[in-house]
Chains A and B, each alone.
Chain A
């Protein structure tokens, strides 16, 4: 069995055209260069597409040949192991399999995998760190968006009492912050440290003197903390960035930041729902009807003037005061 090849002696860049002979007793011969050695002594590079195959001889000599299929045939006849990778690459089925493995892995690490990692990290993360992060975030927000609250002392006391009812006997140290903000408007949000911020603008929408509707909102925010949503979003963002970074290799992080925004907004929809479920169970525990929060949401919906029929909006919005959510709370009114 003969193949045409180019020989380089490893001492200089001169190219020699040679014929390599493979014999049945597994010897490799190049007559023009007095080479006659066992095939086990040379290293045959794994096949890669249709690039010239390299044969490395012990004394620095290298031969290259583009007759790939002929070489594969010879190696098969001589019973020499060849690289499995090329077999995978040249099979359509296995390549398609590789596509599916990749897609499955990305999906898995962004869903189940991320939740699992988030839980592990959340359990080993010291509370000091969470508190630090919470405080610096709040300071930043105070500088940019938030002002001092103008609520009356009486109203504050009522809401604080409701909040204490909601958070007593808990491991996490919860703290309620009253703020006013024209920019953020009627809103409330939670930080992983247990800090919950409530805006005056939201309190103004309340129709209940005992602020049981606000209690519902606070329970929802507590749900975000209990379920570690912020942390999970951070971890998922990190994971998706790393995966996309690896796959696209040399493309900058800029590209990888874009899909995360899209991914995040669909995550948060699930998280809003989860926090709503938590709020309902907490309200039940405290014997408060869900009708108050339903009313508040209806007010909020009017305020935001979001068209219920605007499907685009409800599909990609993360804080949707949608008919869906209102109906959910309504269904739990006894």
Chain B
């Protein structure tokens, strides 16, 4: 009898909700920076934890919020090692000309990269919890080396060999397109299929490579349209400028200085122009691709039998991203907290989860571990898309 009623009940998608606000976050952000300065950088580890805690703890699903549990002391230790090694590398390579030592550090870092990325993935999941049940990651280090060598390096090498043998650029381009989709899918499988929520909440990813190609084509299509529109706009604007005497004289002067590379005036003018045209386009693209990828991953991920769903509007997120960068530049960075919340909130609140039973998950308890991988990934800004 009871079973029948649960079957009949329509389980609804519930959205993730973000309850933070930019005023609160601005204070946390600026105090973090000031304390980091006053403590000569040591506080930066605590700052990172506070920032992450703020975003996690304000993220609600079904009226319960998430938690970020990383230990700042471990983050500090990881940070010291990464910054120290990077400092040595810079010192050897740029100032002391001890290139063999610099190359040694570089080679070790490259060889350790798969291991470090695995560490980072595991660190992020382990330190995230929901209803006092932490996530966890069971992927093996050797699976990461397998991924990097067999799934990534090998196909890339094949492309290079094929490109050398047949000199047709179109074929190389198509091969790159095909292979990048393959690498992307393999990486997502490696990450998601080894992720767990508690003891019995298993994530499964069933996205197909065809959909990834679809995303790539859509992104390329939008960028083509944006590029065309931008060109048309520029053409119209320059036509108008050409008809105004004062402005055309000004342009003429700039053109005269073009031949003189020592003129910093031109450099400055171009860099300002770039800032206001080029950067928003780059960030537009970033938002667009972020939205398509997030939707794709969420729509193809299950937690046991519960579906995730993403309906982020790619153009909306791209618009937010592009206008955010302008706001940051025009406010000299002071609007950064506002832009960060704006982007995060829109993204998050268009992700949904459909779960019949939030109480089914068992916990294996909290685990601690080194933050070295996390800090390396963070320091070099490697995007692992978690």
Contacts and interface: CB of A to CB of B under 8 A. Distances in A.
Interface stretch (A7-15, A162-170, A207-215, A273-281): A7-15
Contacts of B96: 126, 129
B31 A89 contact: yes
Nearest to B38: A101
A185 B262 contact: yes
A112 interface: no
Contacts of A54: 67
Contact of A13 (B37, B340, B358): B358
B97 A255 contact: no
A60 interface: yes
Contact of B328 (A11, A48, A124, A255): A255
Interface residues of A, number: 64
Given A15-B64, A97-B34, A48 B28 contact: yes
Interface in B228-268: 259-265, 267-268
A265 B34 CA distance: 28
B336 to A, nearest CB: 6
Contact of A261 (B57, B131, B271): B271
A51 B54 contact: yes
B336 A247 contact: yes
Contacts of B2: none
Given A12-B361, A15-B64, A317-B264, A50 B24 contact: yes
Nearest to B269: A316
Nearest to A312: B265
B125 interface: no
B297 to A, nearest CB: 19
A318 B268 CA distance: 10
B140 interface: no
Interface in A72-112: 85, 88-90, 94-95, 97-99, 101-102, 105
Report whether over half of chain B's contact residues are helix, strand or loop; otherwise say mixed. helix
Contacts of B65: 51-52, 64
A51 B19 CA distance: 8
A2 interface: no
Given A11-B362, A90-B27, A262 B271 contact: yes
Given A12-B133, A48-B54, A316-B265, A132 B34 contact: no
A284 interface: no
Nearest to A108: B37
A252 B53 contact: no
Contacts of A10: 132-133, 363, 365
Contacts of A49: 20, 24-25, 28, 54, 58
B3 interface: no
A66 to B, nearest CB: 9
B264 A129 contact: no
B275 interface: yes
A64 B263 CA distance: 62
Contacts of A6: 64
B279 interface: yes
B348 to A, nearest CB: 15
B196 to A, nearest CB: 13
A248 B327 CA distance: 12
Centre residue among B95, B131, B279, B328 by max chain A CB count within 10 A: B131
A148 interface: no
B33 A8 contact: no
Contacts of A101: 34, 37-38
A13 B333 contact: no
Interface in A117-140: 121, 124-126, 128-129, 132
Contact of B30 (A102, A246, A255, A317): A102
Interface string A140-156: 00000100000000000
A15 B31 contact: no
A100 to B, nearest CB: 9
Contacts of B57: 48, 51-52
A249 B14 CA distance: 31
Given A62-B132, A244-B333, A316 B268 contact: yes
B182 interface: no
A97 to B, nearest CB: 7
Interface in B149-193: none
Nearest to B130: A13
A55 to B, nearest CB: 11
Given A98-B30, A248-B333, A317-B263, A15 B54 contact: no
A31 interface: no
Given A54-B67, A126-B96, A9 B30 contact: no
Across the A-B interface, the 9 shortest Cβ-Cβ residue pairs: A8-B132, A51-B57, A98-B34, A13-B361, A318-B264, A13-B131, A49-B24, A101-B34, A89-B27
Given A8-B133, A261-B267, 14 more contacts: A12-B361, A13-B133, A13-B359, A49-B58, A62-B132, A85-B35, A101-B38, A102-B33, A185-B262, A249-B336, A251-B325, A255-B328, A258-B271, A316-B268
16 contacts: A8-B133, A9-B132, A13-B133, A13-B198, A13-B358, A13-B359, A13-B363, A51-B53, A51-B54, A64-B65, A97-B34, A102-B33, A183-B259, A244-B333, A249-B340, A261-B271
